[in-house]
Amino acid sequence: MNMKADVYDKTNSRAVLEVREIEKPTPLANEVLVKIYATGVNAADYRSIQMGIQPKKGIYGTDIAGRIEAIGINVVKFKIGDEVMGDISESGFGGFAEYVAVPEDELALKLQELSFEDAAAIPMSAVTALQGLRDVGHLRAGQAVLIHGAGGGVGTFAVQLAKSFGSHVTAVCGTENVEQVRSLGADQVIDYTKEDFAKRNQKYDVIAGVNGNRPLSVFNRALAPNGTFVMIGGALSQVVQSLVFGRLMSLGGKKMRTLSARPNVKDLEFIAKLVEEGKIHPVIDRRYPLDQVSEAIEYLKQGHARGKVVINVQG
């Protein structure tokens, strides 16, 4: 039996994503077959393409939300009919398709009150924000945090998570995102097109660099004496700069760190609990059908998405 999938073929002279009919997967003993209803688009997708990394069967897509249609003989965590979500990047991607077979331990139950769209917007971006702020930044209640690049997928989650931790949040974003970021709970919002946050001479306990391309020295100067800068995203040149020079710039009590986020189901379940409690929610900017994945990726690459970009797979 076949399914539709948006397949990338780097041997093709045009190297594009094209919807094709391919064989529907069969789950292995420890896998479940998920009928995908929605999938999130992430920087991991287009950066993998740029680096020439081609996943199995040429299908990108890391975040999925759907319903289990079949299970392997050793599966104990889920049953047929369960609604699930997860980041499947460590099992070879595969989200830009109607079905995917993945190990059961990469998925979490989807909250019933969450739509498939909202569930697909959560895994990679929210877990990345959580690991950056909590695990690397060690953000605590009462601390001052700066979220640089607060308007995108990771940034919108970072603002909400920081507030849920009881921190004072200063968010930096573009004009078009100011009101939305303020509505997410930021205590201060700085429009970078009108003001340079560095000129405020404020000091922060934690700075999360999510988007942009500012020199690391600018962030270093804005840190409190024992503060931590966490490179979560941003321009590729900035990420490389952080990896190469971050440790060298960690002078005195200041720390310059680079996050290497990993899928983690326990973290995803922690996020789901916060969603259930109404403390955070996904922000979706645009929705595309499966045959417009290329357009969705191109839009995300521009760096101006106001939240998450989601693909509606079914219908």
Same domain, 134 and 252: yes
**In this predicted structure, what is the pLDDT of residue 54?**
85
Share of the chain above pLDDT 90, in %: 79
263 within some domain:
no
Same domain, 232 and 129: yes
265 within some domain:
no
276 within some domain:
no
CATH number, domain of 158, equals 3.40.50.720
Domain count, the chain: 2
d(CA 261, CA 139): 16
Residue 10 sits at φ, ψ, to 5 deg, of -75, -10
Same domain, 156 and 241: yes
Same domain, 134 and 168: yes
Same domain, 186 and 233: yes
270 within some domain:
no
Q: Which amino acid appears at position 116 of this protein?
A: F
Same domain, 112 and 25: yes
Closest C-alpha to 293, from 24, 27, 62, 31: 62
User: pTM for this one?
Assistant: 0.93
224 within some domain:
yes
216 within some domain:
yes
- Tell how far CA 309 is from the center of its chain: 10
Per-residue model confidence as pLDDT tens digits over 178-212: 999 999 999 999 999 999 999 998 999 999 999 87
Same domain, 218 and 290: no
The whole domain housing 155 covers 124-258
Tokens of 134: 């909590």
Same domain, 21 and 89: yes
CATH number, domain of 109, equals 3.90.180.10
Which of 216, 243, 258 is the C-terminal boundary of a domain?
258
Same domain, 143 and 165: yes
198 within some domain:
yes
Same domain, 117 and 200: no
Cα angle 177, 242, 213; round to 5? 35
Q: pLDDT higher for 246 or 309?
A: 309
Same domain, 133 and 108: no
Contacts of 192 (CB under 8 A, 6+ apart): 172, 173, 174, 212
264 within some domain:
no
Per-residue model confidence as pLDDT tens digits over 13-57: 455 788 999 999 999 999 999 999 999 999 999 888 888 888 878
Per-residue model confidence as pLDDT tens digits over 251-285: 668 999 989 899 999 999 999 999 999 999 999 99
Mean pLDDT of 92-115: 96
**In this predicted structure, what is the pLDDT of residue 201?**
87
**In this predicted structure, what is the pLDDT of residue 276?**
95
Q: Which amino acid appears at position 230 of this protein?
A: V
Residue 135 region, left (φ>0) first, then alpha (ψ -120 to 50), else beta? alpha
